[in-house]
Each structure stands twice: as C-alpha cells, then as structure tokens.
A and B are shown apart, each in its own frame.
Chain A
Amino acid sequence: MDYGQVVANGLMIGAVYACIAVGFSLVWGVLNVINMMHGSFIMLGGYLTFFAWLHLKVSPIVSVVPVAAILFVVGYLIQYLMINRVVMQPVLTTLTLTFGLDMILYNFMNLWFTATPRRVVLDLGRLDLGGVILPLDRVVAMGLALLLTGLLYTVMRTSRIGRAIVAVRMDRDAAALMGIRVNKVYAITFGIGALMAGACGALVAVVFPITTSVTGLFLGKAFVICVIGGLGSVPGALVGGLALGLIEAFAGFWFSPQTAILAGFVIMLVLLVVRPTGLVGRRGYE
C-alpha cells in the first residue's frame, strides 16, 4: 500500500467524519450544549437504515431521507420538551442531562437491537485509479456525506430558518427582540443536529459494522473534529473531518488502528491548550 492509497482512504473516511461532526458542531455552537447523545443518534440512524434494507429491501441511498426525517422529529421533541428547560444553565447541567438521556436511549437500543455487529452490504465493486483502489460503496458514502454537508451549508446561508439560527447564535437576546422565537429555533437546530447524525448513520451502515458498542467512539470523533476544525461552522467541521480522516489513516498505516484513535485525542488535547479556536472559525462561547 502506498501513500496515495493512504490519502484516498483518509479522505473517504474523512468526508463521513465531517458529516458526523457537522451536526454536533452546530448544536454546540448555537445552543452551547454538548450533546452526548450524538453517537447514539448516529447508531439509531444506522439501525433504521439496516432494518429498512434487510426487511424492506430499501437501498441506503433512498432510506437516508426518511431516516433523517425521523431523527429530526426525535431531536426536535427532545430539545423542545426537555433540554430547552435547562438550556441556559452551565455545561455541567446540560451535559449531564444529555448523558442521562443517552443512557436511556443506549439501554433500549441494546435491548432491541442487541450488540451484534451488522452491516449493509452493497456489492458495488471497486474503482482502480492507477493503483489506488477505491471501493465504490465508500465512494458513494463519501459523495453523499459531502452532498449533505453542502446542503446544510446552503440551508444555513440562504434559507430563512438558517439565517434565524445564525442570528440566535450571534446574539440570543437581540434575535428574540427581532421577533425570532428562540425556543423554536433551538428545537429546530437540535433537530437538524439529530437529522445530520441520522443521515450519517445511514452512510456509516454502508462503510462500518453497526453496533451499539461504538456509540462512544463516534461521539469521541465528533469532539476531536470540533476542536480541530473550530466550532459552529460547516467549513470548520469539513476541514476537521478531513484532517482527522488523514491523521487516522497515516497513524493507522505507520502504527496501529488503536494508535490512530489515540493520535486524534492527543492532537485534540494539544490543540485545546495551544489554539482553542480551532484551525478554522472562531470561539463559539466561553
């Protein structure tokens, strides 16, 4: 395996990582909430995709839309009914609450789906670009991840609700004075975060085995990407995701897969100390 292949692998996974982090980063940046449920949301999306594929023969490329819609509703309701009540409280409270909710969700997913790893197998063949081999299912996942990330970017830039979210992020009180319903915007933002997680779950189901035991792993990746790329901006998450994909690919190539994960955390801890604003973007909140 040469370096071209390592770079290709890193970028393919990195695009999916970017998609994983973009919803987490949005929720953190706008709501100032660290959503500990993000990893479980991804797995929930993965399971829904898997069962739709297994029982209804729906391709993940199609089921990504309804899965994302379901997760949006789940996220909207959780924020509207629960997190909104404590959203202004310090991080210890909100993080503990989302962790408690995650324990409930995780427990039920474990009971219903069991921890057996499952995977959607799309036998699409592979692409050979002068010695660099690209499995087509991964290429599809990468393409969809980039498409979703671009879509979110467009929605945030151009749509009415996107501008409202950005306004609330900049100044909650001023936005409220301008007639924006902050609670509703919060719920929609959290819903979008869950939607992106669910859509990612559909992509992840194509690339990795789906099992409840990896929820923490994906959550950890979201942390690392947010710190590398900076908070609350779509381009930041994209840069962070691709960077983490490449870091892991090279660390895995030179050392071992576990070292690859450790490398991500170590770089994150160093960045937190040296440059807490990330490579792109600005500090969200203190």
Chain B
Amino acid sequence: MKRLPYVAFALWFLLLAAVPFLASNYFVKIATFLAMYAALALSWNFIGGYTGYPSFSTAAFFGLGAYTGALLQNAGLWVGLAWACAAVVTTVFAAVIGFAILRMRGHYFAIGSIALVEALMLVASILADLTGGGEGLNVKIMPGGPDYIGRVFLYTMLGIMLAAFITTVLVDRGRLGFGLRCIQQNEDAADMVGIDTRRYKTAAFALSAVFCGAIGAAYASWVAYISPSDSFSILLTLKVPVMVLLGGPGTIFGPIVGSAAFVMMEETIWSKYLEYHQAVLGLVIVLLIFFLPGGVLRVFRRRAAA
C-alpha cells in the first residue's frame, strides 16, 4: 500500500512526459506549467512545510534565477550552464540571507521574506544598465521551432521536478527531515535536544531556493523576455504556498497534488473569467482557509501553540 503514491507519481510523470506525443502544443504548455509549479511547491515545502516557517521568498529566488540565467546566457554562456549557475547563485544568496533572517520567527520572518522580493525587484529596476530596468530584458530565443522548444522546456521542467521530488524523499526519510520536523513542532525544544537549529533552518531555506533558481532561469529562456514586476511577482510568492496548503504541507506528495489542482483550476478560471481572474483566485484562497483547514492546515495549527 505504501508504494501506491510512488507508482501514481511515476505514472503522472510519464503522462506529462508523453504529452507532446498525444496532444497539441497548448497541452504541452500546460504540462510544462504543471511540472514547473510542482517543483516550486516542492521547494517551498522544505521551509514552509517541514520547518513551518512562513516564507514568502519564492518569487525572490525565482526572479534572481531568471535574471542571473538571462544575463549569463546573453553574455554567451551555454544555456544549460547558465541555468546551473543561476541555481548556484540563488542557493548561495539564500544561504547567506537565510543565515541572517532566519533568526526571526513568525510575523517578522514573513514580513522580512516579502521585503526580500520587493527589494530585489527594486534592485532589478534600478540597475537599468545591466538589467534593462523597467523595460525588461530580452533573452536569446532558442533555435529549432516551437515544437522542439516546447519539448525542450517540458523535459527541463520535468527534470527539475524529478530532482526536487527525489530531494524531498531523501530529506523526508533522512536526518535533516527529522530535525526540521522537530523545529516545526517546537524550535526551543529542538534546540535543547541538540539539533543545530540555525544550520538546519539555513539548509531548508537554501534547499527551497536551489530549484526555484533553476526554474527561474529556465523560465527566462522559455519566455525569452523578463521584466522586474514579472519575475519578482508578489502573486507568485503567494500562489506557491497556497498550492502546498491545498495539498498538505510537510508531506511528500501534498505539493504535487496541490499544485496540479491549482494549475488546472487556474487554467479553467483564466479562460472563463478573465476580468474576475484575481477575485476568483482570492475566493479560492478564502474558501481554502475556511473549509479545508482540518486535513490541509493541521500541520500549521499545531505550530500555533509553539
């Protein structure tokens, strides 16, 4: 029985990978988004789910990765190498920043992590000579035609999703996951029994950044144009935690289920209620908070006492 979710994940993975052979390019795009958001949600899960820290930094990592990747690629670096460098830069950034801001808890951490997004967005706008400022930055379009490009990015995102998934399984079963769960339940007690909470939290924060950075860079190459408000989107920074809440934070499969449900919901909402898109998304969030708290938010409710 315990193997069942893994089999389901493998089938889901194969289904997404088979989309280019089964359906039109529109569905290839949706499959790419499904993989991308699943990877982002799995990333957030390290800090938000296992560790229980209300991080809203997803867009900061995504945007940093996007700009790093785009600038390196425009400087002549090979695409794959540019993505890898973006992931490394983002991870180092997260580790350094995390070491400082993870001292705060609760509301202060939430505010600090949102401010990180805003600050980076302003930096990207101010350094106009380098980043093109508010006008945005064009990235070289990959040669090979839409069919080929669609597949390249689908398989890239699927690869990142798989890497994030495997990392999650390893963390979940390993020492790190155990320590993070202890921190989530009671940080002071975790500290008392000898868990190096600062190192563990920094590791979780860095893990939550590495795949975001790679995805940001791949996304920049995919859409071939990035701008500050697009890359450091406050909406993205909230959407990803909501996806994880929808599926179940602190679990291996919750982020995948949640992000898949959310992307499909968004895809149907987008096409039907273009004018009320944001309001409907807001309504979904409000309903989620009120009517799905038992199964979905249980992990966080426990933290309220801490």
Contact = CB atoms under 8 A, between A and B. Distances in A.
Interface of A: 28, 32, 34, 82, 85-86, 88-93, 95-97, 99-104, 106-108, 110-111, 216, 220, 223-224, 226-227, 256, 258-259, 261-262, 265-266, 268-269, 272-273, 276, 285-286
A101 to B, nearest CB: 6
Contact of A100 (B48, B126, B282): B282
B118 interface: yes
A284 B54 CA distance: 18
Interface in B178-197: none
B294 to A, nearest CB: 12
Nearest to A227: B111
Q: How large is the interface on B (under 10, 10 to 19, 20 to 34, 35 or more residues)?
A: 35 or more
A101 B122 contact: no
Contact of A103 (B100, B123, B285, B303): B285
22 contacts: A34-B110, A86-B290, A89-B304, A90-B106, A90-B304, A92-B54, A92-B110, A93-B289, A96-B241, A99-B282, A100-B281, A100-B282, A100-B284, A103-B285, A107-B277, A220-B115, A258-B122, A261-B122, A265-B119, A266-B119, A276-B104, A286-B106
A276 B106 CA distance: 12
A104 B286 contact: yes
Contact of B278 (A103, A268, A269): A103
Given A90-B300, A93-B297, A262-B123, A273 B282 contact: no
B286 A100 contact: yes
B275 A111 contact: yes
Given A89-B301, A223-B115, A265-B119, 4 more contacts: A90-B52, A90-B300, A91-B110, A107-B276
B300 A89 contact: yes
B152 interface: no
Interface of B: 48, 52, 54, 100-101, 103-108, 110-112, 114-116, 118-119, 122-123, 125-126, 234, 238, 241-242, 245, 275-279, 281-286, 288-290, 293, 297, 300-301, 303-304
A259 B282 contact: no
A272 B241 contact: no
A265 B123 CA distance: 11
Given A34-B107, A101-B282, A92 B125 contact: no
Contacts of B277: 107
A92 B118 contact: no
Scoring A88, A223, A226 by chain B CB atoms within 10 A of each residue's CB, the highest score goes to: A223
Given A256-B126, A265-B122, A276-B104, A97 B286 contact: yes
Given A96-B245, A103-B282, A272 B125 contact: no
A226 B111 CA distance: 10
Contacts of B304: 88-90
Nearest to B110: A91
Scoring B118, B242, B275, B277 by chain A CB atoms within 10 A of each residue's CB, the highest score goes to: B118
Scoring A107, A108, A266 by chain B CB atoms within 10 A of each residue's CB, the highest score goes to: A107
A224 B277 CA distance: 30
A25 B107 CA distance: 12
Contact of A91 (B106, B116, B293): B106
Contact of A99 (B104, B115, B122, B238): B238
Contacts of B290: 82, 85-86
Nearest to B55: A92
Contacts of A227: 108, 111
Contacts of B118: 220, 265
Contacts of B106: 90-91, 285-286
A268 B283 contact: no
Contacts of B52: 90
A95 B54 CA distance: 9
B16 to A, nearest CB: 28
Given A100-B289, A262-B119, A269 B107 contact: no
A286 B297 contact: no
A226 B114 CA distance: 14
Given A89-B300, A90-B303, A107 B279 contact: yes
Given A107-B276, A272-B101, A96 B285 contact: yes
